[in-house]
Amino acid sequence: MPHTSAAATDPNGYGAILFDLDGTLVDSLPALARSLNAVLREDGRRAVSDAEVRAMVGDGIKVLVARAYAATGDAPDSDARLRALTARFSAHYEADPTAGCALFPYTAEILAGLAGMGYRLGVVTNKPYTPAISLLRDFTLLPLLDIVVGGDTTPHLKPHPEPFLHAADRLELSPERVVVVGDSINDVDGAHRAGMRAVAVSYGYTRIPPAEFGAEALIDGLAALPHALAMLPATEAIAT
C-alpha cells in the first residue's frame, strides 16, 4: 500500500470503491467470538454463541463488548469499567485476529480484477486500524488497497460520514465518484451522508434485513459486484 493504478474505465464515472471489512470481505466472526468469550470466561460469565455475536457486530469494539456483557448479565456500570473490558478484549483479539477466519468467496479475485480495471480500492471499517491491517495483510489483500481507514483513524465511527470523506480526500476523489460496499446499514447510511452511492451485500452480520438498507444495489456475493457497478446511475460530478 498504496496501490498505484490507471484511471478507472467505469463508464458511469466512478473511480473508487470502499469496502467494509468484517462481514463483507472477511468472515471474522470466529476470532471475535473467541476473544469475547475469553473475557467473559475470566469474569465467570457464560459464553455467547456465534449467532449472538453476529447480531452484536458492526458498531465498534466498545459497543460489541457492552452488548456481550448486557446479554450475559449486567451491562458495564461505568465508562471506566467498559474501557477496561474493551482493553482486555483487544489484548485477546489483537494477539491473533486471523485465526479461524476466512475470506468470503471470490474476495481476492474480485478485488484484483477491480484494481486491474483501474479502480482505487479501500477499506473503511469500525475495527481499530492495527487488527484491520493484520487481517488484510494475512489474507494478502493489503497490496490491492490504496487506503485503509480504521475505527480509530478519525474521531467518528460509521455511520458518521467522516471516515468515508477522509478516504475520499486521501484518494483525491470527489465523494460522488466513490461507491461503498458493505453488509451493514451503517455502511449505507454513512455512504449516503457522505454523498456516495452504496452497494449492500446480503450475507454478513446485520440486525436489519439488507433489503431495507436503502442501498442503490443489493448483491448476494462479491462476484456480482462488477455487474452492480455497471448498473449504478452515472455520477454527476466527474473529478480527477
Residues 114-167 have pLDDT tens digits of 999 999 999 999 999 999 999 999 999 999 999 999 999 999 999 999 999 999
- 16-28+101-231 is classed CATH 3.30.70.260: no
In sequence order, what are the beta bridge partners of 197? 179
Instruction: Print the SS3 string covering the chain.
Output: CCCCCCCCCCCCCCCEEEECCECCCEECHHHHHHHHHHHHHHCCCCCCCHHHHHCCCCCCHHHHHHHHHHHCCCCCCCHHHHHHHHHHHHHHHHHCCCCCCEECCCHHHHHHHHHHCCCEEEEECCCCHHHHHHHHHHCCCHHHCCEEECCCCCCCCCCCCHHHHHHHHHHCCCHHHEEEEECCHHHHHHHHHCCCEEEEECCCCCCCCHHHCCCCEEECCHHHHHHHHHHCCCCCCCCC
Q: What is the Cα gyration radius of the chain?
A: 18
**Enzyme catalytic residues:** 20
Joined grid coordinates for residue 17: 470503491
User: Cβ(148)–Cβ(1) under 8 Å?
Assistant: yes
Cis status, amide bond into 159, omega within 30 of 0: yes
Q: Where are the domains of the chain?
A: 16-28+101-231, 29-95
Q: Which residue has the cell 454523498?
A: 195
Cβ partners under 8 Å of residue 190, min gap 6: 124, 158, 159, 160, 161, 163, 164, 180
Domain 29-95, CATH homologous superfamily name and number: Putative phosphatase; domain 2 (1.10.150.240)
Q: Residue 79 and residue 25: Cα distance in Å, rounded? A: 31
pLDDT digits (tens, 9 = 90+) for 10-21: 888 999 999 999
pLDDT digits (tens, 9 = 90+) for 3-51: 544 456 688 899 999 999 999 999 999 999 999 999 999 999 999 999 9
pTM: 0.91
Domains 16-28+101-231 and 29-95 in one fold: no
**CA dihedral for 58, 212, 204, 10, sign (positive or negative):** negative
pLDDT digits (tens, 9 = 90+) for 165-220: 999 999 999 999 999 999 999 999 999 999 999 999 999 998 899 999 999 999 99
